[in-house]
């Protein structure tokens, strides 16, 4: 796994963190039933549950970076691809909801950055596949 791919993975996790903040500030947990459901599994207060769930996602992302991704060995590529696909779907989903709403939908601003970062990471990971190892 190239240095570029490892850095892009870290950027993707940081972008997800910003995305989570945007979703919280714009109260996604109030306007999107699945977010409300998942938040309710963790706490009776949807806002608190949302914070906890998103904090876990971010901690897992940083753990993935510090563990397998930074080393570039073992499961690094699998983990990076998994995050890439999930974050791309997340970003595209927010964009689709914004189009359907014919305006802003919670998380739509950072969703664009998620899709761009995930796309760059996918291209980098794909390029890594064709680059001879040293």
Give Cα 73 distance to the centre of its chain: 21
Q: How many domains does the chain have?
A: 1
The whole domain housing 102 covers 3-130
Helix (H, G, I), strand (E, B) or coil at 134: coil
- Name the burial class of residue 100, with classes exposed (0-12), middle (13-18) and buried (19+) by CB atoms within 10 angstroms of its CB: exposed
Taking only the tens place, the pLDDT of each residue in 7-65 is 999 999 999 999 999 999 999 999 999 999 999 999 999 999 999 999 999 999 999 99
Task: For residue 21, give the nearest of 124, 130, 111, 129 by alpha carbon.
Answer: 111
Predicted TM-score of the model (pTM): 0.93
CA end-to-end span of the chain, whole Å? 11
Taking only the tens place, the pLDDT of each residue in 70-85 is 998 889 999 999 999 9
């Amino acid at each position: 796994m190239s240095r570029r791919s490892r850095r892009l993975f870290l950027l993707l996790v940081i972008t997800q963190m910003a995305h989570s903040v945007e979703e919280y500030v714009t109260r996604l947990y109030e306007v999107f039933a699945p977010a409300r459901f998942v938040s309710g599994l963790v706490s009776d207060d949807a806002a608190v549950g949302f914070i906890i769930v998103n904090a876990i996602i971010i901690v897992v992302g940083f753990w993935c970076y510090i563990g397998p991704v930074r080393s570039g060995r073992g499961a690094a590529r699998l983990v990076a691809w998994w995050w890439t696909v999930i974050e791309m779907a997340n970003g595209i989903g927010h964009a689709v909801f914004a189009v359907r709403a014919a305006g802003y939908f919670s998380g739509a601003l950072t969703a664009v950055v998620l899709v761009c970062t995930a796309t760059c990471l996918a291209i980098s990971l794909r390029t890594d596949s064709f680059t001879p190892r040293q």
